[in-house]
Amino acid sequence: MKIAYYPGCTLKTKGKSLETSALACMTALGIEFEELVRWNCCGAVYSLADDDLIHVVAPVRDLVRVQQAGHDKVITLCSMCYNTLARANELMRTDEEKRKTINDFMDEEPDYTGGVEVLHFLDFLRDEVGWDRVKEKVTRPLAGLKVAPYYGCTLLRPKEIAIDRVDKPEVMHDFLQALGAEAVDFPGAIQCCGAYQVLGNPEAALKVSHDILSDATAHGAEALALTCPLCDYNMSKRQDKMLQQYEGAKEVPIYYFTQLMAIAMGIPIEECHFELNRESSVQLLKAKNLVAG
Amino acid sequence: MAREISLKTIDDRFRRKIGEISGQNFQQCFQCGTCSGSCPMTEHLDLMPRQVMALIQFGQADALDAAKTPFVCASCHTCMVRCPRGLDIAKIMESVRLVKLRRNVNEIEPSNLQPEDITEMPQLAMVSGFRKLTS
């Protein structure tokens, strides 16, 4: 049965390497998916104000689209989209009064009661595909590649929508091991990269992102795998600033988890759009003989 | 700095507003400081999250209006998952931000952002930043 796929705004532009690599992997795994025909921006952040329901309308509308397309599950790749859709879904499932208000407000749409299940590609791989099937598809194990799994905030918090244990997640560790890489766990894996504070307090965001990368390398990681285009911006695109600003800062190649998966599955490198990564990302793969040098 | 706490300085309206917007019973906070110890942003804060909670409990609207902390919060929810009283401190921080933003005050001015800073920035950075930091 086909599964619905929700991309989100960034995955069509600055984060397209996350989308193209993931979709190529899904195809290789035999997962039939269908991009929602009329999706809209999820709003990026879930509204934290009890009296602000208008910002829940956008993600709920996306969930209505999933149902209209005849699906009961939707896969997301961007972890901020995952969080926003999953939290809006949770609200519609648990808060009768707010559910009624939102449904009344969206009177042009069919009523929505939380019937869709929102998944992130990582928990979909764990629970519905299974690591064994992933391993079967690995043709070029990422042997000798020491990668730190980085979760950030939105896959794990709050716990109602967490895809794994909030304090000690394992899903990305298992994912990397399934690809043949060496997963290097580190405490910073669940720390915040500064997120949207790159706009309000760019120096603070730079420092917390730098702390995460230093922590990862101090634990022996050569690279970092992540799931979110905002984390990628803060840690990859702004890394040059860290290298200039912080004494002892080291170059750390950053990958979307799906790019590593695509390489391990022998998918053509063009699908990874490595031109959007740091140069060191491809260099490291070449040094490990994982891509043609 | 010493602060006078009396019926004259406690702004009950502000307190009620925070309760309404956040949906949280902030009086449950017993000042253990777990939030302050968990916050990744502590070195950039002017008030620790624990202090924000105490100032809300005492209705110190002026001090919170001038505080930087709610606008440095990245809503990472680490404090929330660790709070022994089960308080959603991220929601409380959001309510303090909103009390200010809803007076039509912007924390950042989108028109002042420099092209060189935003050309490479992904959409979700701007959507989330504007959602959190502008009115």
Structure confidence at residue A208 (pLDDT)? 98
On chain A, the residues whose CB falls within 8 A of the CB of B43 are 204, 207
The burial class, CB within 10 Å (0-12 / 13-18 / 19+), for A244 is exposed
Structure confidence at residue A293 (pLDDT)? 73
Q: Does A241 touch chain B (CB under 8 A)?
A: no
CA distance A209 to chain B (A): 10
Residue of A nearest to B97 (CA): A49
Q: Could you list the pLDDT tens digit for every one of the 293 residues in chain A?
A: 799 999 999 999 999 999 999 999 999 999 999 999 999 999 999 999 999 999 999 999 999 999 999 999 999 999 999 999 999 999 999 999 999 999 999 999 999 999 999 999 999 999 999 999 999 999 999 999 999 999 999 999 999 999 999 999 999 999 999 999 999 999 999 999 999 999 999 999 999 999 999 999 999 999 999 999 999 999 999 999 999 999 999 999 999 999 999 999 999 999 999 999 999 999 999 999 999 87
The residues with which A225 forms a beta bridge, in sequence order, are: A149, A255
Q: What is the pTM of this model?
A: 0.97
Structure confidence at residue A50 (pLDDT)? 96
| pLDDT confidence tier of residue B130, bands split at 50, 70 and 90 | very high
Q: Does A183 touch chain B (CB under 8 A)?
A: no
On chain B, the residues whose CB falls within 8 A of the CB of A13 are 122-123
Asked if the Cβ–Cβ distance from B128 to A196 is below 8 Å, we say yes
Three-class secondary structure of residue A73 per DSSP = strand
Q: Does A275 touch chain B (CB under 8 A)?
A: no
Structure confidence at residue A31 (pLDDT)? 97
CA distance B109 to chain A (A): 9
Residue of A nearest to B38 (CA): A191
Structure confidence at residue A280 (pLDDT)? 98
> Taking Cα atoms as reference points, which of A13, A10, A86, A70 lies closest to residue A37?
A70
Round to whole Å and give the CA distance between A135 and A121: 16
Asked if the Cβ–Cβ distance from B107 to A196 is below 8 Å, we say no
Q: Does A49 touch chain B (CB under 8 A)?
A: yes
* Helix ranges restricted to H, chain A: 16-28, 54-68, 79-94, 96-105, 121-124, 131-137, 171-178, 197-200, 202-218, 229-232, 239-245, 257-264, 279-287
Asked if the Cβ–Cβ distance from B125 to A233 is below 8 Å, we say yes
Report the Cα A52 to chain-centroid distance in Å: 26
- What single DSSP character describes residue A31? -
Q: Other CB atoms closer than 10 Å to residue B104's CB: what's the count?
A: 8
Q: Does A41 touch chain B (CB under 8 A)?
A: yes
Structure confidence at residue B116 (pLDDT)? 87
Residue of B nearest to A203 (CA): B44
Buried b (16+ CB within 10 A) or exposed e, A92-102: beeeeeebeeb
Phi, psi of B103 (to 5 degrees): -90, 15
Contact between A128 and A1 under an 8 Å Cβ cutoff? The reply is no
CA distance A98 to chain B (A): 13
Asked if the Cβ–Cβ distance from B81 to A55 is below 8 Å, we say no
Residue B117 reports pLDDT greater than 90:
no
CA distance A55 to chain B (A): 10
On chain B, the residues whose CB falls within 8 A of the CB of A203 are 44
Q: Which residues contact A226 (CB under 8 A, 6 or more apart)?
A: A150, A152, A232, A235, A254, A255, A256, A257
Cross-chain CB nearest to B128 (options A15, A159, A195): A195
Phi, psi of A3 (to 5 degrees): -120, 145
Structure confidence at residue B2 (pLDDT)? 86
Round to whole Å and give the CA distance between A123 and A263: 20
Q: Does A80 touch chain B (CB under 8 A)?
A: yes
Classify strands A146-149 and A117-120 as parallel, antiparallel or unpaired.
Answer: unpaired
Contact between A252 and A216 under an 8 Å Cβ cutoff? The reply is yes
Q: Does A207 touch chain B (CB under 8 A)?
A: yes
Structure confidence at residue A259 (pLDDT)? 98
Residue of A nearest to B108 (CA): A200
Three-class secondary structure of residue A4 per DSSP = strand
Q: Other CB atoms closer than 10 Å to residue B30's CB: what's the count?
A: 10
- Per residue in B37-75, pLDDT (tens digit) is 999 999 999 999 999 999 999 999 999 999 999 999 999
- Per residue in B72-93, pLDDT (tens digit) is 999 999 999 999 999 999 999 9
Cross-chain CB nearest to A50 (options B23, B44, B123): B23
